[in-house]
Structure 1
């Protein structure tokens, strides 16, 4: 006999749907309540089809009840989630938990909406690498005003989204909403208004890419090369990639913008770099800089006379200057002067950072604190000294330069009560100017007030990180400091380096076209993204062996640098290999393995 069977996805880690008996008329996108184990769960129908069924051979449970009378989510959004789940090696249910409000996943009633496709739309891909930021934001505003397309505008950071939203005229804001983490009840009301088509555009951070506009016409992703767009927590979705998938499914325009393109975009389209910093960028040789001795630290801190002079000139006029040293703490590590022993974190194995403000040694990764020992734990020598000076040491030098601590501020990612602390700093800088010493996070000040001077005290450490894209991260950060925030074209940027203007730094003067052409050729020779896909897999050791066997069977290259752990890497040179591997690994993500846990997979592609 013919029966209706529904494939249903639940908010769960499984890669496959669960199949239930249903009734005629059930459609994709409707929520249903289904039996699972000893209870019931809310799921979303993925597919419903009628077929013959032998009830004597197989027992299939029935859908308990149907929540929605019609599909409650645009089909293009569900299709986008399905395609993204396959690409990012996760189940659609994992993305449900990111994409939809808790109320929706619990079955809260929503109004009926007719999600008809507008076939008059034509998908297009455009780029906007306009600098400085203020000019690019103006372009986004004009784009919103020129037509009535439902739009999503995405920024990598909350504050940047807020600033753009605040810059919009009142009448334009009446048509849209600011979509940020906050009150769950208010967000649920806004989400339902968006779903019903009452709101025409949204400005927000990455999660806004999932908003259920009934007839989505445009997605704008600003600062598209920002690493923040790769989710730090599982599922490891890349927001820009999902925006690309969704624009295809919805037939919407996709605009990728920013100061600096990603490797994948440059490989695809080779956009032109039309701006140069010219005299605003000054490069200084660290070897010729003045060396400031730091008490208790082996190496001095180099700060050029030019930085000291320019800083005094700016602060004397009540201007703002940033001193950036991406080496937090008083010293990056402590070392025994007798046996060269460095205290390490027992959890992470990383050298412990010396933070004088806390009189402690801090792990840079897990943040666990230890008392600073007075003698070496290995040889007993009393001479434990700092290795290389950090931002706290630069803070002391800045205070000496101005002769007062009132105009000196410290800003980095570890500051407590972040929002209120930054407001206080900005308020003081507006009144009397001063110096902000800290990590790269200090660039946030540029979004709040005009900053006349940015000084990178040791740019070489940005390139020294053990990442295949370290050069990109370094040059992007420096390039951003030239163009970000308010009145950027009036800002001077000074960078100190042991090899100023050489290697990857040439792109700062000549433009990012030069950087990417050289960088992409080297990555191609070394078989690195964007030419291939790198899969980082982390699971249990017993599961690892079986998953690697599947990769070997398919002839796909793998790397196993930590054989005693559950972590390994896959090198997929073609997209079809990603699909082959996913099919082979489906059994490891079956509902029957819930008690064993599931591996977590991250796809590196930039």
Structure 2
């Protein structure tokens, strides 16, 4: 008896090993096995009676030790990993390592298998639109003919999408099926987790990266054994090994955090499409600001759109106003300050949003033009006043802020631009009598602190909550009357074709926190670019107008969703090596790309130096993925056979950002 193993390495190859001495190894278990000169964790994905052709018995090594008592993955997970390796051009073991929790042993669990689903909380009454959406999803799931049923719950913020998700999940559970419910942020996970636990009790669980490996492995085991029927979590929860998957929900589908930044660079939406197709499940997505890709699929009928147009709970869409920051001193305009005072007098709450942490982010000398950048990355250092340091947000390098210009010694040098720390300082100085809390990656680093902050805010214990995008999406705060977007321009300055889409979505999403229970919500959007289409469409709540204009521009320029992209990046400590590698890859690809595909580059990445590595890129573009995908596979095979040491090549299929 021989077993086929894969390892967490960038190769799609299987390796054949002999059974361990105790005979405990089996498909679906992790094992420790010799690999080269070391011992590595391997994943058993197959068994065979005979050796592969051309392999001698004496060349076969034996598995040393079995990690798991019971299999922790099955054929569904293996098939999905094989597809991911093929589509995302990564190793099969890399895909499995991403899917399977890293814990070595399960912790004790007192949960037991429930005989039937117990609905522990009474569901809310549905509006006509919600009821119609629910009925169409349930009916569509029951009469599936070709391909998985795909629906999009498109509705303004506060229109009750979550309740439709929960009622659809309830129908699936009662039909004996299981449910995966994806949310983009851990901050949102807590809110949805509470709603799901209240509704479904012990058949629901949550898995996310904030848990220890052992805790995740324990929940993974409960899910595989069928003790859990509904799983809530961010991106990685798409791999949860639920029994008899019937429904996969993607809340806030547009969010960029559904795309992994590490190998394999998978997108949870794409994996969800594949899982639903493989297992005959229904896919339901939802957002007030769909991604451009999803909008086009709704337009051409591939995804069925279900619209929710009315705010529930007595709320109404907020009044949104653009404020030109030209000539304004400080971070807050007089109009925004006055509205904060008025909101406080009414006993209501304010959210201030700025998608940039730190105190200030740009050091400049007026005398000689010197700019303070990271010594390891081609980006400016951000001044963090609380730390007393200038910090790189890409590699973590930090240095004391200079007292004079390091280049010419001038005193006419210093930091400019504002981040959440500076906003907090100005707000505390302007409103000393109000209760203020900041929520960003710096202030919520301690485990549980973000959840505690949001709970205090929801209970009315904070007057002004200021923060980055973790306060902008999906959260439901009854007391919020006013939302102030301190600076709407931050994403617009990035050299990326999605920058307008991101700006538009953030403004619409954060504006949606205001007036959810009362028809008097106000949103003030501060900007230096008041005429920018992304800002004007968002502030006029012209959702369809924005997508019409944005898609026309994307079509004209040849960007997704009208084309497909693969980005290849070569990085090295030596710039010449990175340059030589990317040019070699470009030559290999140009020989193999179909005539209807093209190559953009080679060129420096917008952030050309990161963590001491020089970065060069190619962007491959085609009307369909098949042509560019096949060319990249062939080019990589030739490159890997004679690759350059000291260079790492990254492949990003369907990139969501090009920095």
What range is the shorter-chain TM-score in? Answer: 0.7 to 0.9
Cα shift at 1:501: 6.0
Distance 1:45 1:260 in 2: 40
Q: Of 271, 296, 303, which residue of structure 1 is paired with 2:333?
A: 303
Q: For each residue in 1:158-201, what CA deviation from the matched residue of structure 2 results, as whole angstroms up to 9, or x when unmatched?
A: 23222112123657222222223424434333322221223222
Matched, 1:559 2:601: yes
Partner of 1:13: 10
Partner of 2:651: 601
Query: Which shifted more, 482-491 or 312-321?
Result: 482-491
CA distance in 1, matches of 2:43, 2:454: 48
Is 2:149 aligned against 1:124? yes
How many angstroms apart in 2 are the aligned matches of 1:335 and 1:178?
A: 46
User: In the aligned structure 2, how far is the partner of 1:421 from the partner of 1:75?
Assistant: 38
Matched, 1:538 2:570: yes
- CA gap of 1:399–1:102, structure 2 versus 1, over 3 A, is closer
2:26 and 2:599 mapped to 1: Cα distance? 41
Distance 1:552 1:21, change over 3 A: farther
Q: What's 2:368 paired with?
A: 339
Cα deviation code 1:302-328 (max 9, x no counterpart): 5142x2222111112332212223344
Give the Cα separation in 1 of the matches to 2:350 and 2:514. 14
Q: Deviations over 1:516-562 (max 9, x none)?
A: 22112212222222322131323453644443332122135241213
Deviation at 1:470, TM superposition (A): 0.6
1:263 corresponds in structure 2 to 292
Superposed counterparts of 1:184-263, under 5 Å = 184-263=213-292
Question: Are 2:554 and 1:523 equivalent residues in the alignment?
Answer: yes
Equivalents in 2 of 1:175, 1:252: separation in Å?
19
Residues 1:571 and 2:620 are matched in the alignment: yes
* Kept after mapping to 1: 8 A contact 2:332/2:486: yes
Q: Is the 8 A contact 2:229 2:243 kept in 1?
A: no
1:131-150 matches, cutoff 5 A:
131-133=156-158, 135-148=160-173, 149-150=177-178
1:496 aligns with 2:526: yes
Distance of aligned partners of 1:516 and 1:375 in 2 relative to their CA distance in 1, 3 Å threshold: same
> How many angstroms does 1:587 deviate by?
5.2
Does residue 161 of structure 1 match 2:193? no
Aligned residue for 1:199, secondary structure, equals: coil
- Following TM superposition, by how much is the alpha carbon of 1:99 offset from its aligned partner in structure 2, in angstroms? 0.8
Q: 1:501 to 1:66 in 2, by over 3 A?
A: same
- Greater alpha carbon shift after TM alignment, 421-430 vs 189-198: 421-430
C-alpha separation in 1, matches of 2:428 and 2:414: 23
* Runs of 5+ consecutive residues of structure 2 not aligned to the other structure: 20-24, 107-141, 300-304, 609-613
SS in structure 1 of the partner of residue 430 of structure 2: helix
Aligned to 1:478, what secondary structure does the other structure show? helix
RMSD value, Cα: 3.9
- 2:99 is aligned to 99
- Separation in 2 of the partners of 1:53 and 1:357? 64
Residue 388 (structure 1) shift: 3.1
SS at match of 1:346: coil
Alignment pair present for 1:461 and 2:490: yes
- Indicate the residue corresponding to 2:537 in structure 1: 507
CA distance in structure 2 between the aligned counterparts of 1:566 and 1:424, rounded to whole angstroms = 39
User: Could you tell me the TM-score, scaled by structure 2's length?
Assistant: 0.77
Shift of 1:59: 7.2
Pair 320,545 (structure 1): closer, same or farther in 2 beyond 3 Å:
same
SS of the residue 1:147 aligns to: helix
Please tell me whether the aligned partners of residues 338 and 381 of structure 1 are also in contact (alpha carbons under 8 angstroms).
Answer: yes
TM-fit CA distance, 1:32: 7.4
Equivalent residue runs for 1:163-182 within 5 Å: 163-168=191-196, 170=198, 172-180=200-208, 181-182=210-211
Higher alpha-carbon deviation: 134-143 or 43-52: 43-52
Equivalences, count = 577
Residues 356 and 184 of structure 1: CA distance in aligned 2, closer, same or farther (over 3 Å) = closer
Distance in structure 1 (CA, Å) of the matches to 2:84 and 2:294? 18
What CA deviation, in whole Å up to 9, does each residue of 1:346-382 have, x standing for no partner? Answer: 2213223334444443334334332222222222222
d(CA) in 1 for partners of 2:567, 2:29: 34
Distance in structure 1 (CA, Å) of the matches to 2:458 and 2:599: 54
Unmatched 5+ residue regions in structure 1? 107-118, 293-299
User: How far apart are the structure 2 equivalents of 1:121 and 1:28?
Assistant: 32
